[in-house]
Structures are given as C-alpha cells and as structure tokens.
C-alpha cells in the first residue's frame, strides 16, 4: 500500500467532498503517531472510522491486527479497497459507521480499538455511539477539531465544560495527546485538530436505570447554561413532580447550593443530585 501524500491525491485526480468534511491527513509522521496512541497489540481488532485514502490504515496494516475500515464514500471505498488488495488483515466495508452494530466486529474479549479522523458534522453521534458501547472497547483514538477535544477534556469551572465534558469524565479517561496543525491536511482546514485518547472506565454501565437518570439530571442542569441550577432544573423537577423547595434543601445537605451554575459541578456532585432525585421519586 502506498501512503496517500498530496502528490498521490493530485496524481489520482481525487477531489475532497466538502459536505462530508473530507480533509485528508497527508503528514506521514502525524499519522504514525496517531496509530501509536492506540497501543495496538498483535491479534487485536481495530475498527476504523472513515479511512478515506488510508493515511491511518497504512500504519494499521503494520500492526498485525484484524482491521475493519468503514468508508461511506463509494469512490474512496474503491480506491482504498484496491490499495489494500495485498493486505490480508484489512477489510474495507462500504457502510455508514453509524448504522453498524459494533458487536458484529469487535473482539469479544475487549481487545478492540476504535480509531479514526472524525468530521465535525458527525462528532457528536460518533461519540455517543462509542459511549453507549465503550465497555466492549479497549480505547478510542480520534482526530477531531482542536476546540472539540478541549471541550471533551474540559474541567469543572472552565468555559468549555459542558454535557459531553461530564459524560467523558464519567465513563472515560479523556486526554489530548497531540495538536495537529491545519497544514497537515489537504485541503487545509481553517482550524487545527487534535488527537484525543479515550479509555473506558471499567465497571460503568451506560444502560442502567441510575445512569439514565444521571444523564437526564446532567442535561437538565445544562439546559439554561447561563442560569443557576435552581432555574435550569425547575421544569425537570416539575415534570418529575418533585417539590423544588425540598429538593433545594436536600441539595444543601449534600453540600450543593443550587445558586451555582452547572459548569461548576463535578461528576461526583452530579451523582449526588441524581441520588437526591431518585430518593424523592421513590417517596
């Protein structure tokens, strides 16, 4: 397989599709580093999202793993499929990654790595899909816009801290491992990107009733970002038929003043609000 440099792209008359967010990684050193952060061992499984022309696939094939690369673009699928004709451990699949069941491809022993350069338009659904299934993965390594990576890794009290920051800190260990300058892509995007590593926290069950209630509390808390928790949670508590005055009093007992804003709360404090909500629902 030939690494897809900018000359490769031009010589093959490949035209990136803007509406699909196609900015091809052309820096070979960066691509190698991204794959290295997957800490992929021989005989493991890799699910690759949107391989494009194969910048990451080029190095993935050298890891002696089983690779499933999902490419929705018919033209890119054909090009990459032809490039990988001599790579027995890689399979390119012409399907939308959002429409597949990860369990159909993942290793049943948890030795699967999810990797890919993610277009901005599908970052949220991809992240949600990973979170819902993160127990079957060893880790995920994504290339995303730098500002997205900063939001996912944001700490309580910071301007970037939001719903997905809470989710990432609850179910994953997120970290930004490298910043990727815009000139490493073709065509050159307007902003820099970043490689983010997401390692699932063992023992977390996304689908349990308590976790579902926890996420409802988080979403309600951030529903009016500039307002206090008291105002943001008002409709949520009304719908649950929970007395807001009593809820506020119980929150103070747990050390949470509802005059604060959602972006100041830690994951543990959101769990405390969830516990209060659950107890008052059961009365």
Residue that is last in its domain, among 143, 169, 200: 200
Same domain, 196 and 213: no
- Does 129 reside within a domain? yes
Same domain, 221 and 154: no
Residue that is last in its domain, among 200, 234, 266: 200
Same domain, 136 and 270: no
Q: Where are the alpha helices (DSSP H) in the chain?
A: 6-11, 28-36, 55-60, 74-83, 123-133, 146-152, 163-171, 209-221, 229-232, 234-239, 244-253, 267-281
**Nearest residue to 35 via CA among 140, 136, 132, 111:** 140
Segment 142-194, tens digit of pLDDT:
999 999 999 999 999 999 999 999 999 999 999 999 999 999 999 999 999 99
Of all residues in the chain, what percent carry a pLDDT higher than 90? 88
In this model, does residue 283 exceed pLDDT 80? no
- Which structural domain range is residue 248 located in? 209-281
- The whole-number pLDDT of residue 75 equals 92
* φ, ψ for residue 200, nearest 5 deg: -60, 140
pLDDT band at 19 (very low <50, low <70, confident <90, very high): confident
Same domain, 125 and 257: no
What is the C-alpha separation between 178 and 265, in angstroms, rounded?
27
- The whole-number pLDDT of residue 177 equals 97
- Does 252 reside within a domain? yes
Contacts 24+ apart (CB under 8 A), 211-220: 213/274, 213/277, 213/278, 214/170, 214/270, 214/271, 214/274, 215/167, 217/270, 217/273, 217/274, 217/277, 218/163, 218/166, 218/167, 218/262, 218/270, 219/163
- Does 176 reside within a domain? yes
- Does 155 reside within a domain? yes
Segment 104-148, tens digit of pLDDT:
999 988 899 999 999 888 999 999 999 999 999 999 999 999 999
Same domain, 237 and 184: no
pLDDT band at 84 (very low <50, low <70, confident <90, very high): very high
- The whole-number pLDDT of residue 93 equals 97
In this model, does residue 14 exceed pLDDT 90? no
Residue that is last in its domain, among 141, 169, 200: 200
Report the sign of the C-alpha dihedral through residues 92, 196, 121, 136, in that order.
positive
- Does 67 reside within a domain? yes
- Does 126 reside within a domain? yes
Same domain, 155 and 240: no
Segment 198-226, tens digit of pLDDT:
999 998 989 999 999 999 999 999 999 88
What is the C-alpha separation between 85 and 222, in angstroms, rounded?
49
Same domain, 48 and 134: yes
pTM of the model: 0.94
- 145 in helix, strand or coil? strand
Same domain, 131 and 187: yes
- The whole-number pLDDT of residue 56 equals 98
Segment 228-272, tens digit of pLDDT:
999 999 999 999 999 999 999 999 999 999 999 999 999 999 999
Same domain, 14 and 108: yes
Per the prediction, the chain carries an average pLDDT of 95
Give the number of domains in the chain: 2
Same domain, 271 and 132: no
What is the C-alpha separation between 22 and 118, in angstroms, rounded?
9
CATH code for the domain of 275: 1.10.8.100
Over residues 5-23, the mean pLDDT reads 85
- Does 1 reside within a domain? no
What is the C-alpha separation between 278 and 247, in angstroms, rounded?
11
Say which residue, 21 or 259, is predicted with more confidence: 259
Same domain, 175 and 277: no
- The whole-number pLDDT of residue 87 equals 92
pLDDT band at 21 (very low <50, low <70, confident <90, very high): confident
Same domain, 195 and 213: no
Segment 46-79, tens digit of pLDDT:
999 999 999 999 999 999 899 999 999 999 999 9
Over residues 35-39, the mean pLDDT reads 96
């Amino acid at each position: 397989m030939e690494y897809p440099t900018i000359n490769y792209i031009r010589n093959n008359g490949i035209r990136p599709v803007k509406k699909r967010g196609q900015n091809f990684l052309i820096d070979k050193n960066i691509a190698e580093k991204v794959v290295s952060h997957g800490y992929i061992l021989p005989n493991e499984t890799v699910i690759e999202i949107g391989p494009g022309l194969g910048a990451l696939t080029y190095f993935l094939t050298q890891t002696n793993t089983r690779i499933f690369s999902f490419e929705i673009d018919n033209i890119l699928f054909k090009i990459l499929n032809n490039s990988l004709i001599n790579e027995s451990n890689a399979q390119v699949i012409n399907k939308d990654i959002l429409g597949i069941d990860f369990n159909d491809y993942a290793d049943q022993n948890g030795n699967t790595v999810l990797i890919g350069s993610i277009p901005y338009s599908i970052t949220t659904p991809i992240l949600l899909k990973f979170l819902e299934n993160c127990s079957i993965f060893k880790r995920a390594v994504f290339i995303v816009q730098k500002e997205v990576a900063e939001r996912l890794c944001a700490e309580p009290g910071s301007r970037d801290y939001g719903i997905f920051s809470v989710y990432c800190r609850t179910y994953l260990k997120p970290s930004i491992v490298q910043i990727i300058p815009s000139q490493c892509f073709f065509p050159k995007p307007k902003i820099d990107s970043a490689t983010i590593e997401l390692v699932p926290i063992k023992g977390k069950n996304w689908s349990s009733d308590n976790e579902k209630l926890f996420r409802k509390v988080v979403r309600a808390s951030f529903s009016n970002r500039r307002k206090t928790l008291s105002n943001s949670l008002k409709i949520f508590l009304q719908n649950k038929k929970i007395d807001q005055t009593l809820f506020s009093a119980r929150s103070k007992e747990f050390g949470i003043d509802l005059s604060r804003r959602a972006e100041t709360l830690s994951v543990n404090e959101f769990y405390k609000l969830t516990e209060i909500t659950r107890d008052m629902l059961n009365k």
